[in-house]
Structure formats: structure tokens, C-alpha cells
């Protein structure tokens, strides 16, 4: 029997979210677990992108498993990265929703220095899906970083924003080497995510957005 397209969940709790999204382009499974550290399983088909996702897991203090399989379309990096961001973003949104009754921060900002590179990432999970990149440093002007195009790496943040209902703001302060600059970016993202998931009893039952509905759209 042909598998239904769209998102299906295997687990949704305050500590664990497991989901799979199937489209005509890809099948992506994501597990996000707030538990003692273990080895991650991350396989997207792109080595540098795997490395960046590992950086997020380490800095966010989450166990993350991500697997990608092509379905009917060609396995293009642009779609792989964007779809991974989207499914991962949805997993994070489910964690936030599960923690809302007790109160969760829902926003975070962090600056990471990685050798010569300096990058700040700010996240705001108020149901508004926007991504902004600021600053023109050499490290992001370089077309290629390891085995992926820089422009494709940007798609992760766009996909994450759509999947989670999050405003993603990235400020590049310094960076000459493309590897260093993007690694600082993904690590800062992970740290900002860790802050966003922290308890905040003051916000129990509410969201940081004044409309109070979080993300309304369903993927």
C-alpha cells in the first residue's frame, strides 16, 4: 500500500518527539530527545550538513537523530537541507507545545566565536515564520563550503522557520573562512535553541506572542 504523504508522529512528549515527513521528494525522519547525552545518528547524504546538525545537537543539549531518503525526485542538496530544517523545526514546535502548560522560554539569543568568525543567532517562537541574515563577511560570500553550496545551507534556517513558526535572525559580525563562519552559525543556533527550551514558569499556559496561539498552520 502506498504510504500517505505528509507528517506522521510516533511520539510527542515534553522530552521526546519522533516524526516522519513523506513527500514526493523525500522521506525525512527526526527524533529529538531531551535526555542524557548519547551518540547521535545523523545521515542526510551531505557530510558538511551532517557536521552542522551534530553541532546543533551538541550545543542545544539534545539527542538528535535525522535520516533522509529520496522518494521520487532527484536527491538535490537544496531540497534535502530545506526539508530537514522544516521537519526538525516541527519537532521543536511540538516540544514547545508540550511544555507550554508549565511554561517555556520560547526565545533565545547567543553569540559564538569560532576562530576568526563571530556570529549571533536570535530565535523567537511566536508563530511568525521569517528568516533574516545580516552582515556581509567573506565567510558567507564564498560560494562553496566543503561539499555543499553556501546558498543551500541557508535553506535550513528557512525550513526551520516554516516548520516551527519561528523568527530566525542571524548576524554575521566576522568571518573569513567559510567552514568557520557556518560552523559558528549552526553552533550559535544550537545555543539559542537551548535557551528557547528552558523552563519559564511566568509564561505557563501562554506564548511569547501577544495573540497567544503559537504556530497556527499545520504542515
Kindly state whether residue 91 falls inside one of the protein's structural domains: yes
The domain total for the chain is 1
Mean pLDDT of the chain: 93
In a domain, 54, yes or no: yes
Calculate the alpha carbon distances from 144 to 132, 157, 191, 212 in Å: 20, 18, 25, 41
Q: With respect to residue 155, please indicate whether it lies within any of the assigned structural domains.
A: yes
User: Is 78 part of any domain?
Assistant: yes
What's the pLDDT tens digit per position in 54-98? 999 999 999 999 999 998 888 889 999 999 999 999 999 999 999
Whether 144 is covered by a domain: the verdict is yes
- pLDDT tens digits for range 15-68: 999 999 999 999 999 999 999 999 999 999 999 999 999 999 999 999 999 999
CATH of the domain at 20: 3.30.230.40
Q: For residue 2, what are the contacts with CB-CB under 8 A and spacing of at least 6? A: none
Q: How many CB atoms lie within 10 A of CB 118?
A: 20
Range of the structural domain that residue 62 is part of: 6-203
210 assigned to some structural domain: no
185: cell is 552559525
Task: Confirm whether 211 is domain-assigned.
Answer: no
Q: Is the pLDDT of residue 150 over 60?
A: yes
Tens-digit pLDDT profile for residues 105-135: 999 999 999 999 999 999 999 999 999 999 9
For residue 218, being part of any structural domain is answered with: no
What does the longest C-alpha to C-alpha distance in the chain come to? 53
Mean pLDDT of 183-201: 97
pLDDT of residue 218: 52
Amino acid at each position: 500500500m502506498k504510504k500517505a504523504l505528509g507528517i506522521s508522529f510516533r511520539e510527542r512528549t515534553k522530552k521526546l518527539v519522533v516524526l516522519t515527513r513523506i513527500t514526493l521528494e523525500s522521506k525525512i525522519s527526526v527524533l529529538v530527545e531531551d535526555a542524557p547525552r548519547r551518540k547521535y545518528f545523523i545521515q542526510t547524504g551531505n557530510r558538511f550538513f551532517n557536521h552542522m546538525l551534530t553541532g546543533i545537537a551538541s550545543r542545544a543539549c539534545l539527542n538528535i537523530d535525522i535520516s533522509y531518503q529520496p522518494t521520487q525526485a532527484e536527491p538535490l542538496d537544496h531540497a534535502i537541507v530545506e526539508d530537514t530544517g522544516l521537519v526538525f523545526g516541527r519537532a521543536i514546535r511540538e516540544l514547545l507545545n508540550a511544555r507550554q502548560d508549565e511554561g517555556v522560554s520560547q526565545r533565545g539569543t547567543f553569540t559564538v566565536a569560532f576562530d576568526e568568525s563571530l556570529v549571533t543567532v536570535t530565535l523567537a517562537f511566536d508563530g511568525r515564520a521569517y528568516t533574516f541574515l545580516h552582515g556581509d563577511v567573506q565567510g558567507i560570500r564564498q560560494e562553496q563550503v566543503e561539499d555543499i553550496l553556501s546558498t543551500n545551507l541557508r535553506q535550513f534556517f528557512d525550513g526551520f522557520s516554516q516548520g516551527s513558526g519561528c523568527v530566525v535572525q542571524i548576524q554575521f559580525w566576522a568571518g573569513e573562512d567559510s567552514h568557520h563562519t557556518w560552523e559558528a552559525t549552526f553552533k550559535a543556533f544550537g545555543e539559542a535553541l537551548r535557551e528557547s527550551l528552558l523552563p519559564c514558569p511566568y509564561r505557563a499556559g501562554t506564548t511569547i506572542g501577544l495573540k497567544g496561539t503559537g504556530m497556527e498552520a499545520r504542515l
